C-alpha cells in the first residue's frame, strides 16, 4: 500500500530496461498492496488490542484485578504444599494442574486447577496466594484484559484462530519486505525523511507512510514474526511431547499413574538440586499437557533476562519426587521462549513498554495510511486517468 | 527537496534506514543479553524510529516560527 497506486518516476535508462523495471515495480506493488489489504483488518485488530496488553499489569492493578501480597519482606515462604491444599479447598472437586512462581512477583504463588489434569484450558481456574501467609489473593486472569487478550491471541476461535492470525502475520512480513523493495523506486530522488507537505495530501501521506514504514521495519518484523512463532506454540509443544518427552519417560512405559502424589515441597527441593543455580518457574502435575501421566515436571529458569526465559525441564517421579531425567529444551522451543519477550516488549522496564506502545501507534499509522492511499488511488482513478502522485513524483 | 538529477546511489536511499534498522536490532537484543547497560542502550536504540518521526513532524513547525 506504500505506493498509493503511484508509479515511480521516469528513469533515464533505455526503453526496454525501463519497461522491465516498471513491470518489476508493478509486480512488487501488487504483492505489497494485496498482502497488506488482506491482512489490514486483522493487523489493526492486533495492533489495537496489543496496545493495552503492553500495560496489562498496570491496567489490572489500576482496575483492582491484580493480586496484592501482604508486606512480608524477609519472612520465609510458607511450604508450597500448604498453598496447594488451600487452592484445592478453594475449588472443591478440582485437581491441580500447575503451580507457578513469577520472578517479578516473588511474594505471590499462582495455582492452576481444572476438572481433570488434561482438562480444557478454558476451564482452568487461576488463583493467587500470598507466598508467606498463604492467604488467598483472589482469582487471576479475570477482568476486561482477558477479553482483550483472547481477541489478540485467537479472536475467541481457539487454535484455528491462532493459526489464522499467524497467517496474517506472515502476510504482514511479506508486505514489509515488498515495501522495502518499493522504497527504492519511490524515494530514490528524495532526501531521507522528506515529507512533501506542500503537495497533494495523498503525496504527503505517501511520504509519511514510506518514512514511518522504513524506520520501523526491524521492530515490525521482529514483533510480527515472533507473534507468528507464538501462534505455533501448541504445535511445538505437541512435537516436544511426542519426541523428547516421550523419550524421557520411556523407562516408565506401562506403569500405572501414581496412587499418591509426592509433596510439592519435595518436588521443588529435588528439582533445585538437579539444576543448581536455577529457580523453579512452574511445576506441572502428572497427567497435564506439560508432563507425563507418571511425572511431575519442574521447569527451571536462570536469573538473567535471557536465562530467565530459557526454561529447563526436570522430570520427577510422581510418587517419590526422585529426579528421573533432565535435559535442555530443543532449539525450536528455546526459539519460542526467546520470541516471547521480543513480542511482548516486557523485558526492559517501563521505558521500553512506553517505546513499544509508541511503535505500535506508528504501525497503526502505517497501516491506516496505507489503507487511505489505496482508497485515495481508487477515488482518483474514478475521476482522472493520470495519477497525481505520478505527477508529484516526477517533479 | 530532491537530491539532484544524477543516478541515485543505494546508500543515499537505504543508508539511513539501514543504520536505524541495525541499531533497532542491536537495541532489541541488548536488553536481553547485556544487563543494565544493555537495557539503557535498548531504550535509546529502539526509540530511534520514534525520535526520527517526531523530529520530522516537528520540523515544519519550528521552521515557520
ipTM for this prediction: 0.90
Place of cell 506439560: A290
Asked if A353 and A304 sit in the same domain, the reply is no
Cell of B12: 543515499
* Nearest residue in chain A measured CA to CA from B8: A188
Q: What are phi and psi of A93, to 5 degrees?
A: 90, -5
Crossing angle for the helix pair A349-383 and B35-64, nearest 10 degrees? Answer: 40
CB A87 within 8 A of CB A131: no
Single residue among A344, A365, A381 that ends a domain in this structure: A344
E-strand ranges in chain A read 95-101, 108-114, 125-130, 136-140, 279-284, 295-301, 312-317, 323-326
Whole-number Cα distances in Å, A287 to A105, A207, A265, A294 = 27, 56, 19, 7
Burial class (CB in 10 A: 0-12, 13-18, 19+), A319: middle
Place of cell 493480586: A67
Residue from A203, A204, A207, A215 whose CB has the most chain B CBs within 10 Å, to mutate: A215
Considering only CB atoms, B56 lies closest to which of A193, A342, A352, namely A193
Tens-digit pLDDT string for chain B (65 aa): 444 456 678 888 999 999 999 999 999 999 999 888 999 999 999 999 999 999 999 998 887 65
From chain B, pick out residues whose CB is under 8 angstroms from the CB of A183: 13-14, 17
CA A174 from centroid of its chain's CA atoms: 19
Asked if A221 and A259 sit in the same domain, the reply is no
Asked if A245 and A328 sit in the same domain, the reply is yes
What is the rounded CA–CA span in Å between residue A358 and residue A380?
Answer: 32
What is the rounded CA–CA span in Å between residue A137 and residue A158?
Answer: 29
Q: Is residue A240 part of a domain?
A: yes
Q: Is residue A2 part of a domain?
A: no
Which pLDDT does position A385 carry in this prediction? 56
Secondary structure letter of residue A190 according to DSSP: B
Residues in chain B: 65
Q: What are phi and psi of A326, to 5 degrees?
A: -150, 135
Using the Cβ of A327 and the Cβ atoms of chain B, whether some distance falls under 8 Å is answered with no
Could you tell me the residue range of the domain that residue A76 belongs to? Answer: 71-145+232-344
What is the rounded CA–CA span in Å between residue A25 and residue A196?
Answer: 22
CB A274 within 8 A of CB A284: no
Local structure of A102: helix, strand or coil: coil
Q: Is residue A4 part of a domain?
A: no
Asked if A24 and A97 sit in the same domain, the reply is no
User: What residue ranges do the domains of chain B occupy?
Assistant: 12-64
* Nearest residue in chain B measured CA to CA from A209: B53
Asked if A165 and A311 sit in the same domain, the reply is no
To 10 degrees, the CA torsion angle through A59, A63, A69, A74?
Answer: 50
Q: Is residue A63 part of a domain?
A: no
Using the Cβ of A341 and the Cβ atoms of chain B, whether some distance falls under 8 Å is answered with yes
Single residue among A324, A344, A364 that ends a domain in this structure: A344
Asked if A251 and A323 sit in the same domain, the reply is yes
Residue stretches of chain A with pLDDT short of 70: 1-14, 17, 20, 72-74, 384-395
pLDDT in tens, A30-54: 999 999 999 999 999 999 999 999 9
Which pLDDT does position A254 carry in this prediction? 77
* Residue A350 neighbours by CB under 8 Å, 6+ apart: none
* Nearest residue in chain A measured CA to CA from B49: A215
CB A371 within 8 A of CB A1: yes
Single residue among A303, A326, A344 that ends a domain in this structure: A344
Residue from B56, B62, B64 whose CB has the most chain A CBs within 10 Å, to mutate: B56
Q: Is residue A91 part of a domain?
A: yes
Residue from A13, A192, A198 whose CB has the most chain B CBs within 10 Å, to mutate: A192
Asked if A331 and A360 sit in the same domain, the reply is no
Which pLDDT does position A72 carry in this prediction? 63
Q: Is residue A108 part of a domain?
A: yes
* Residue B11 neighbours by CB under 8 Å, 6+ apart: none
Which pLDDT does position B6 carry in this prediction? 64
What is the rounded CA–CA span in Å between residue A40 and residue A144?
Answer: 25
Whole-number Cα distances in Å, A395 to A6, A23, B5, B17 = 13, 22, 11, 24
Which pLDDT does position A395 carry in this prediction? 39
What is the rounded CA–CA span in Å between residue B34 and residue A304?
Answer: 9
CB A1 within 8 A of CB A209: yes
Q: Is residue A365 part of a domain?
A: yes
Asked if A40 and A82 sit in the same domain, the reply is no
Determine whether the interchain pair B35/A304 forms a contact, defined as Cβ–Cβ distance below 8 Å: yes
Asked if A209 and A159 sit in the same domain, the reply is yes
CB A213 within 8 A of CB B53: no
Determine whether the interchain pair A219/B28 forms a contact, defined as Cβ–Cβ distance below 8 Å: yes
Q: Is residue A3 part of a domain?
A: no
CB A323 within 8 A of CB A298: no
Asked if A265 and A311 sit in the same domain, the reply is yes
Domain count, chain A: 2
Using the Cβ of A211 and the Cβ atoms of chain B, whether some distance falls under 8 Å is answered with yes
Amino acid at each position: 500500500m506504500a505506493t498509493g497506486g503511484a508509479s515511480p518516476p521516469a528513469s533515464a535508462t533505455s526503453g526496454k530496461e525501463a519497461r522491465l523495471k516498471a513491470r518489476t515495480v508493478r509486480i512488487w506493488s501488487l504483492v505489497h498492496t494485496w498482502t497488506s489489504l488482506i491482512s489490514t483488518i486483522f493487523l489493526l485488530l492486533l495492533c489495537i488490542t496489543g496496545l493495552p496488553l503492553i500495560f496489562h499489569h498496570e491496567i489490572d492493578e489500576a482496575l483492582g484485578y491484580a493480586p496484592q501480597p501482604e508486606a512480608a519482606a524477609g519472612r520465609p515462604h510458607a511450604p508450597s504444599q500448604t498453598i496447594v491444599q488451600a487452592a484445592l479447598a478453594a475449588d472443591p472437586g478440582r485437581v491441580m494442574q500447575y503451580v507457578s512462581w513469577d520472578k517479578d512477583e516473588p511474594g505471590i504463588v499462582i495455582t492452576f486447577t481444572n476438572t481433570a489434569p488434561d482438562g480444557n484450558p478454558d476451564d482452568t481456574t487461576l488463583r493467587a496466594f500470598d507466598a508467606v501467609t498463604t492467604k488467598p489473593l483472589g482469582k487471576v486472569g479475570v477482568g476486561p484484559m482477558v477479553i482483550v487478550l483472547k481477541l489478540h491471541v485467537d479472536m475467541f476461535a481457539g487454535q484455528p484462530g491462532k493459526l489464522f492470525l499467524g497467517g496474517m502475520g506472515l502476510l504482514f512480513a511479506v508486505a514489509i519486505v515488498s515495501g522495502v523493495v518499493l522504497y527504492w523506486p519511490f524515494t530514490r530522488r528524495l532526501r531521507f525523511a522528506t515529507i512533501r507537505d506542500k503537495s497533494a495530501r495523498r503525496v504527503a501521506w505517501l511520504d509519511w507512510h514510506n518514512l514511518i514504514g522504513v524506520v520501523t521495519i526491524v521492530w515490525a518484523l521482529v514483533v510480527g514474526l515472533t507473534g507468528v512463532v507464538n501462534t505455533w506454540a501448541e504445535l511445538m509443544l505437541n512435537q516436544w511431547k511426542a519426541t523428547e518427552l516421550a523419550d524421557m519417560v520411556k523407562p516408565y512405559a506401562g506403569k500405572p499413574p501414581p496412587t499418591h502424589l509426592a509433596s510439592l515441597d519435595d518436588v521443588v527441593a529435588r528439582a533445585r538440586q538437579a539444576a543448581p543455580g536455577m529457580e523453579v518457574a512452574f511445576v506441572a502435575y502428572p497427567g497435564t499437557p506439560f508432563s507425563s501421566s507418571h511425572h511431575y515436571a519442574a521447569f527451571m529458569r536462570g536469573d538473567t533476562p535471557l536465562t530467565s526465559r530459557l526454561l529447563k525441564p526436570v522430570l520427577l517421579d510422581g510418587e517419590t519426587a526422585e529426579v528421573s531425567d533432565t535435559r535442555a529444551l530443543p532449539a525450536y522451543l528455546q526459539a519460542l521462549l526467546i520470541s516471547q519477550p521480543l513480542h511482548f516488549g516486557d523485558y526492559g522496564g517501563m521505558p521500553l513498554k512506553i517505546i513499544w506502545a509508541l511503535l505500535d501507534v506508528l504501525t497503526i499509522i502505517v497501516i491506516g495510511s496505507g489503507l487511505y492511499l489505496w482508497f485515495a488511488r481508487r477515488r482518483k482513478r474514478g475521476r482522472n486517468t493520470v495519477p497525481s502522485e505520478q505527477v508529484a513524483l516526477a517533479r | 527537496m530532491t537530491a539532484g538529477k544524477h543516478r541515485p546511489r543505494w546508500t543515499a536511499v537505504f543508508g539511513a534506514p539501514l543504520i536505524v534498522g541495525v541499531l533497532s536490532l542491536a537495541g532489541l537484543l541488548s536488553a536481553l543479553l547485556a544487563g543494565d547497560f544493555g537495557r539503557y542502550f535498548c531504550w535509546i536504540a529502539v526509540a530511534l524510529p520514534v525520535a526520527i518521526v517526531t523530529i520530522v513532524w516537528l520540523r515544519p513547525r519550528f521552521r515557520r516560527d
